[in-house]
Amino acid sequence: MELYRSGSKDGQQPPRLTREFPAPHWSYREEARHFLQNVGSGEPFRSSGEDTAADVRLYEEIYKQFLGK
């Protein structure tokens, strides 16, 4: 992300363009946080169990091909 910093009013700090990056998030922790929050609140989940089941089937197929089966 690029941010433009205007500098200080007294002229001591010149304007500058900086690059800043948000802190990384661990996807599994964020997924667990979302799950627990929605279980507690009763809100619907962003992804369905059907999506997850399809992903697991795909991973199993990839792994079988890796093993040569």
Average pLDDT over residues 19-39: 83
**Tally of domains within the chain:** 1
How many percent of the chain have pLDDT more than 90?
28
Query: What domain range includes position 21?
Result: 2-67
d(CA 10, CA 34): 45
d(CA 5, CA 18): 7
Q: How does residue 60 score in pLDDT terms, banded at 50, 70 and 90? A: very high
* DSSP single-letter state for residue 23: P
- pTM, whole model, 2 decimals? 0.40
Task: Check whether 8 has a pLDDT greater than 80.
Answer: yes
